Amino acid sequence: MKPGAGRGLVEINVEECKGCGLCTDACIPKVLRLSASLNRYGYHPVEYEGRGCSGCGLCFVVCPEPGALRVLKLAA
């Protein structure tokens, strides 16, 4: 498997993320984490490890912030 390859890809808009951690808790393969850095509003935004996303969409479902993240399902 190529680096970054998987069945899904999560894209994060760090300025829309409030760092609540709901997505990191929901992610079964645990490929999301809160960044050590701050966004412009003073929150620690979520970041994707870059591989291992299954494309399940749970992070998108639980996120209360419209536009903070989106999930792309990758073709096999």
Binding site for ligand SF4 (CB under 6 A): 8, 10, 17-23, 26-27, 29, 31-32, 46, 53-59, 62-63, 65, 68-69, 71
- For ligand SF4, give the closer residue by CB, 3 or 59: 59
Token output for 13: 């808009």
- For ligand SF4, give the closer residue by CB, 42 or 46: 46
- For ligand SF4, give the closer residue by CB, 59 or 75: 59
DSSP 76: -
End-to-end CA distance of the chain: 12
DSSP 2: -
